[in-house]
Amino acid sequence: MRNIDAEAVAATGFAPAIAAIREAVVDFDPEDDIPRSIVGLEHGEMILMPSELGAYTAVKVVTRTPDNAGRGIPTIQGSVLLADRTTHRQLAHIDGAAATSLRTPALSLAGVAGFAAARFPAGVRLAVAGAGAQALPHVRAAQAVVPVLRVVFGVRTAGRAAELITTLAAEGIDVAEAVIGEGFDAAVAESDLVITATAAAEPVLAAEAVREDALVVAMGSHSASERELPGALLGRAHVIVESLGNARREGGDVVMAIEEGHLTWDDVHTLREVVTGGEGAFAAGRPVVFKTSGMSWEDVAVAAAIYEADAERAG
């Protein structure tokens, strides 16, 4: 069995991971996925995510330990076990935190990659709400799809994005931060792609700040009672989710917008519809909102891409 560490996971790159997710839904309907299980622990929670996809089966087991942020230890830790789908022969043990750091931004961009290429072929001005662990990986995933011309990080406390700014500025990228509120809304109004990667339970931007041609990915909340986006934004957008079942369970941005009367479930599209039907079926002149929560099948798709890339490097 191959042991694939964090360095080897990162070497896979975002482009193959994005492609793996988009290719998976051509033959697999995420509505048929196995729902993940979340088990409460004394100091956090354990998340169990089993699924089968193509030639592979896998289970990701990770722990989420909120207090680790103050200990200098990763909040997310765990492993992915990849096996042959038919024989269940174990193929690889993969660093779970690294796989999640690859899969999560890859999923975000998988939903809007076609729209970005069509609407902004020359590049995007990117606004990211949040400056935590998912902020820079989402910039890198966006760069795998389209040139990133500018980045503004939305923060609660001024200076929170200082390290991110130093990193990207050294690469020649126009980068800044703005405090969430009027300052960040002004940055959103000038952005083509907006990604919310926060732990917020309430909207982090104003609906009217988002342009009619903008692309928005909301990936921070994972509860039907929490959201990062206002309902009014979803009411005037093309809304896309990983699966309708998963969105009903965990997609608070969509659930609450529907409860408020901004749209209905009949207005909500799935990632599979986007990939198999093509982005051209969606009218221009409306924002695109992709709400993600994370599903088990995506981990299998990305784990397979990691395993195959590692095997190719090994010769």
Q: Which domain holds residue 180?
A: 108-291
Residues in CB range of 24: below 8 A, 6 or more apart? 53, 54, 297, 298, 300, 301
Give pLDDT tens digits for 29-60. 999 999 889 999 999 999 999 999 999 999 99
Q: For the chain, how far is it from start to end, CA to CA, in angstroms? A: 16
Position 270 scores a pLDDT of: 98
Same domain assignment for residues 98 and 179 = no
Residues 114 and 229 in one domain: yes
How sure is the predictor about 314, in pLDDT bands with cuts at 50, 70 and 90? confident
Q: Tell me: the pLDDT tens digits for 88-145?
A: 999 999 999 899 999 999 999 999 999 999 999 999 999 999 999 899 999 999 999 9
Note whether 90 and 170 are same-domain residues: no
pLDDT at residue number 240: 98
Q: What is d(CA 24, CA 6) in angstroms, rounded to the nearest whole number?
A: 23
Question: Are 219 and 306 found together in one domain?
Answer: no
pLDDT at 76: 85
Q: For the chain, give the mean pLDDT.
A: 96
**Residue 287 CB partners (closer than 8 Å, separation 6+):** 210, 211, 212, 213, 214, 215, 216, 233, 236, 237, 238
Check whether residue 76 and residue 141 sit in a common domain. no
**Helices 96-110 + 14-27 axis angle, to 10:** 70
| Residues 290, 229 contacting (CB under 8 angstroms) | no
Q: How confident is the model at residue 173 (pLDDT cuts 50, 70, 90)?
A: very high
- Give the CATH number, domain containing residue 149: 3.40.50.720
Q: What is the pTM of this model?
A: 0.95
Q: What is the pLDDT of residue 36?
A: 87
Spatial CB neighbours of 279, under 8 Å, sequence gap ≥ 6: 114, 115, 118
Same domain, 164 and 268: yes
Q: Would strands 56-64 and 44-53 be described as parallel, antiparallel, or unpaired? A: antiparallel
Residue 75: per-residue pLDDT:
86
Q: Are residues 22 and 42 in the same domain?
A: yes
DSSP strand pairing (174-179 vs 148-155)? parallel
**Residue 172 structure tokens:** 């020649």
Percentage of the chain with pLDDT > 70? Answer: 100
pLDDT at residue 81, as a whole number: 98
Our count of domains for the chain comes to: 2
* Residue 76 identity: I
Q: Are residues 282 and 310 in the same domain?
A: no
Task: List, edge to edge, every strand of the sheet that includes 56-64.
Answer: 2-4, 90-95, 76-84, 56-64, 44-53, 37-41
Q: Which residue has the tokens 């397979």?
A: 304
Q: Are residues 270 and 300 in the same domain?
A: no
Is the per-residue pLDDT at 315 higher than 80?
Answer: no
In SS3 terms, the chain reads as CEEECHHHHHHHCHHHHHHHHHHHHHHCCHHHCCCCEEEEECCEEEEEEEEEECCEEEEEEEEECHHHHHCCCCCEEEEEEEEECCCCCEEEEEEHHHHHHHHHHHHHHHCCHHHHHHHCCCCEEEEEECCCCCHHHHHHHHHCCCCEEEEEEEECCCCCCHHHHHHHHCCCCEEEEEECCHHHHHHHHCCCEEEECCCCCCCCCCHHHCCCCCEEEECCCCCCCCCCCCHHHHHCCEEEECCHHHHHHHCHHHHHHHHCCCCCHHHEEEHHHHHHHCHHHCCCCCCEEEECCCCHHHHHHHHHHHHHHHHHHHC
What angle in degrees, to the nearest 10, is found between the helix axes of 135-143 and 96-110? 50
pLDDT value, residue 16:
97
Does one domain contain both 44 and 119?
no
Is 145 in the same domain as 221?
Answer: yes
> Same domain for 218 and 274?
yes
* pLDDT tops 80 at residue 249: yes
- Residue 25 maps to which CATH number? 3.30.1780.10
| pLDDT average, residue stretch 196-200 | 94
